[in-house]
Amino acid sequence: MVILGTKTDAPKTRGPDDSRGYRVFRVVNTVVLIGVVVVTLYPFLNIVARSLSEEAYIIAGKVTIVPRGFDLTAYKLLMSDALFWTNYRNTVVYTVVATLISIVLTTCYAYVLSKPQLKGRTFLIGVALFTMFFSGGLIPNYVLVTSLGMKNTIWAVVVPNAISVFNLLVMKAFFESLPSELEEAAAVDGLNTYGTLLRIVLPLSKAIIATMVLFYAVSFWNSWFTAFLYIDRQDLLPVTVYLRNLIAGATDAQQSGAAAADVVQAAATLQAVTIVLTTLPILAVYPFVQRYFVRGVMLGAVKG
Amino acid sequence: MTSTLRPPPPAPPRSPQEALSPAPRSPRRGRSWRQALRRDWQLYSLAILPLLFFLVFRYLPMLGNIIAFRRFKPGGSIFGEYWVGLRYFRMFLTDPTFWEVFTNTLVLGTLTLLFCFPLPIVLALLLNEVRARRFKRFVQSVSYLPHFLSIVIVAAMVMQLTSIEGTANQLVRLFGGDPVAFLQRPEWFRSIYVSSEVWQTVGWGTILYLAALTTIDEDLYEAARIDGAGRLRQTWHVTLPGIRPTMVTLLILNIGSFLAVGFEKILLLYNPLTYPTADVVSTYLFRMGFQSSNFSYAAAIGLFEAVIGLVLVLSANVISRRTVGTSLW
């Protein structure tokens, strides 16, 4: 899959061009881009403001990006909800386990696919690529997972999406870019394939593995539909489905242990608080990991 | 990231039968399977678990589509009980609701393509003209952010923004209008869906274009300038052709997912009041399967959808190879 032959982020200078039209354009351009920033950030600020506001102000439609009638009741309410924390813990567990499985499977397969001399390599790549364009579909998948007895277990969430073909291609491209002399030297030193992979290749691949961990972890952290489909027990749900049930009005207040009257009163605020608390971990690590994502996407786009 | 080091791109996936047989027609350096296995068995052993995964969770469900042609009993065999031929296909092809949701799918897919495909190109071109690098970085970082949110969170945000007391209605009131329950009104669903889609994808979509822009040969701009081309004509005659392969590839991929319009997001955002515009093939299939427990019927619709998706991506690929010489493989 050839998308581009890339080099990263070199500043582009097209020499001076100070025609009047272009100067006007640059002002307009800056304004437009600031507009993009504002539109992108506004929903976040709005949600944070709502989460900190008094319900009455929200209902009156007075909250924009500044909290009105500063009120932490909803935070306290949610913090005291045992189900919320159980679900939050589930999300963490599912994410860790799923990411682990994914990384192992993806690394193994990508390493195999990166060996140009391997017989049957084209077929092995085809097996993976074909699933990008054709899939069994919702119903057969559901029937399969159910008949494997995976319903209401962690496995229904962590196994069916273990390998992302895109990530596989990114990793394969990386392995292919490693100099083959290294592995030949390892073979001369008497290391077998497993030894070469573990002691030579993987230590050189820390950066790409970190990127893969991020890709997988974020997608598992954010996923909700698999759990929604395969898990009926409230105490096994991830926090995304908790939020889904909340916005669908399906979470029964009494069931989750909070005082019903309070919950009804604080419904809008509570939603905002749940959104904030669910998004927080992503927002907290985002500034530090963003560039790895960008790098990974480009690596995958070079060649698959 | 030097592409020169790499072997040529993989050949198109061959049909399983052809590739499985130890085809003597194209022996790789004359080695037989036996030799290959003896030499590389450790490598092959690493492929076992991943292959098992693909087999069980990707290819078995493809075979599972056979229930679209068979009577299926929940709890029974995953391949159904007995043949019913094309009964379920005839059923949905004569089902007026199916054609309604099919039309909705086409409309939403077209609108998504119309906005979500070109806007990242525009944004990338605008960013490309920014000289202050820190400002550019900042805009990029902010615009990538929504990509990392769960669909549930995006849906929840949409609900809050469009609620009676939310931002959208604050604006409506500002201009003297009456509050609208946007998510209860079928005529608003498409705009809401497409704008939230744009909000979430436009920034992330610029990455590949921005990278492609840096690979354009500086001399081309120089030559264009000498020929008297202004900024706009340079963009038209140099920049856009320079990123055309990227554009075409992403367009093909977009077309391939055309019918699979944001199933999860629609599932979260729609309700019976907005079904007239919001209900798409995948959500209809979901309700048929899980609320009406009509698995075979739903599987038939799913198979139909998947086949159309495959046909779309293959034909887009062929057309693009014939016309502009860019192909996915």
Number of domains comprising chain A: 2
Are A165 and A48 in a shared domain?
Answer: no
Q: Check A17 against B11: CB less than 8 A apart.
A: no
CA dihedral B176, B269, B204, A163 (to 10 degrees): 170
Are A65 and A140 in a shared domain?
Answer: no
B256 vs A129 pLDDT, higher one: A129
Query: In which domain, by residue range, is A46 found?
Result: 20-71
Q: How far apart are CA B322 and CA A72, in angstroms?
A: 62
Asked if the structure places residue A50 within a domain, the reply is yes
Q: pLDDT of B78-96, one tens digit each?
A: 788 888 888 889 888 898 9
Which residues fall within 8 angstroms of residue B66, CB to CB, at 6 or more apart?
A: B79, B80
Neighbours of A182 (CB within 10 A): 13
Give domain B96-323's CATH superfamily.
MetI-like (1.10.3720.10)
Q: pLDDT of B31-56, one tens digit each?
A: 688 888 888 888 999 999 999 999 99
pTM value? 0.84
ipTM score for this prediction: 0.85
- A240 contacts in chain B (CB < 8 Å): 150, 152-153
Residues 64..83 of A with a Cβ closer than 8 Å to B: which?
A: 64
- Whether A124 and chain B come into contact, CB under 8 Å, resolves to yes
Are A215 and A155 in a shared domain?
Answer: yes
Angle, helices A206-222 vs A82-113, to 10°: value is 140
Q: pLDDT of B204-213, one tens digit each?
A: 889 889 888 8
Asked if the structure places residue A12 within a domain, the reply is no
Are A39 and A88 in a shared domain?
Answer: no
Residue B172 has pLDDT above 80, yes or no: yes
Residue B25 has pLDDT above 80, yes or no: no
Residue B192 has pLDDT above 90, yes or no: yes
Asked if the structure places residue A4 within a domain, the reply is no
Q: Got the DSSP string for B228-286? A: T--HHHHIIIIIHHHTHHHHHHHHHHHHHTSTTTTHHHHHHH--GGGHHHH--HHHHHH
Considering CB atoms only, which of B146, B268, B313 is closest to A244?
B268
Instruction: Kindly report each contact of residues B92-98 with a partner whose C-beta sits within 8 Å and lies 24 or more positions away, as own/partner.
Output: B92/B297, B92/B300, B92/B301, B92/B304, B97/B284, B98/B281, B98/B284, B98/B301
- B130 contacts in chain A (CB < 8 Å): 29-30, 33
Are A35 and A124 in a shared domain?
Answer: no
10-residue averages of pLDDT along chain A (304 residues): 43 58 88 95 91 82 82 85 92 96 96 91 93 88 91 94 92 88 84 88 89 91 94 93 82 43 60 89 85 78 52
- Whether A172 and chain B come into contact, CB under 8 Å, resolves to no
Are A119 and A28 in a shared domain?
Answer: no
- B271 contacts in chain A (CB < 8 Å): none
Are A230 and A268 in a shared domain?
Answer: yes
Asked if the structure places residue A194 within a domain, the reply is yes
Are A156 and A102 in a shared domain?
Answer: yes
Residue B120 has pLDDT above 50, yes or no: yes
Q: Check B130 against A30: CB less than 8 A apart.
A: yes
Instruction: Kindly report each contact of residues A198-203 with a partner whose C-beta sits within 8 Å and lies 24 or more positions away, as own/partner.
Output: A201/A111, A201/A175, A202/A107
Residue B8 has pLDDT above 60, yes or no: no
Are A215 and A245 in a shared domain?
Answer: yes
